[in-house]
A and B are shown apart, each in its own frame.
Chain A
Amino acid sequence: MLSDIQLVKLAKDGHLNAFESIITRYKDKVFNIAFSFTSSHSESDDVAQNVFLKVYSNLNSFEEKSAFSTWLYRITVNECYNVLNKRKSNTVSIETELAGKDNLSLKEVLADPKSDVEQNFLSAETQSIIRKALLELPEKYRMIVTLRDIEDISYEEIAQIMEISDAKVKVWLFRARSRLKSIIKI
């Protein structure tokens, strides 16, 4: 299997098949980041499409100083912020697909030392509560929790993607998780 850099080089040389392979490799990751940030399928689809169109348009400006994924995720983060800015400027509020669901406490589940969430399937209700709580976080905290806890991206890569220091990654993560706990009321 070709590496990211090999595919990028081929795509730069005009091989559209190579670019299609890049899309196949990363489309779900990009879409999932966007969905964690927007909780909207249609907006996530817009974000993902814009990301890959921008990647294609700017492929020649990618100088391979960082990993391709880091560059791709940075574009994704910026597109997510753009979508939210558009949403804010829209006079008619766009309701997310989670709006209207009951706000339930997860305290019993999460505070249980015997509870091993990793082994358990999250109920639709629990998923809804968590996603709704994510939406209440400030944008930068929502993004950092998405990248770290949902996408399992390293501190170092997050620092590059969000263009912040390593120290700030630690502080923002602590604050984001603390806020998330208080939103879920645990």
Chain B
Amino acid sequence: MAEHHVHCVVNGAKQRGIVESRTTLADFLREGLGLTGTHLACEHGVCGACTVLVDGKAVRACLMLAVQADGHEVTTVEGIASPDGTLSPVQQAFVDCHGLQCGFCTPGFVVSVTSFLEANPDPTEAEIREGISGNLCRCTGYQGIVEAVKLAAARMRDGAGVGQ
């Protein structure tokens, strides 16, 4: 099995590793770097639990190879809160609106919503529901999540700032 060196920046820190050609970005993050916040729930690109930001864009880490991240910047759920632990506006809104129950899909939602609100800071409810329809949740019926996105958007428009 061919092996490759990967150099990338993850959550602001330089990282390197040796991976097989077939190693996914998700497996590299979880097993190679110990960043287990990125979750795998389908491994075929439907559920969105493994969503991370690559150069600021939301991608599914189960559908991207680790070698493709070479030379790129990756943000995982571990990189969303402030270094001092203060939750981002999106994360805080999930707390306030009961946007999570078992929490397994949550990292993917936090990352997707962070990206979504950067692109659309003032979404309607229909736009929110469409915008998060690439992420599956089995616990919340999405109601708390939709409320959280609305609240985060309102707070960020009021100047709380996005994420990091």
Q: Do A and B bind each other?
A: no
Where the two chains meet, the residues of A that have a C-beta atom closer than 8 Å to any C-beta of B are: none
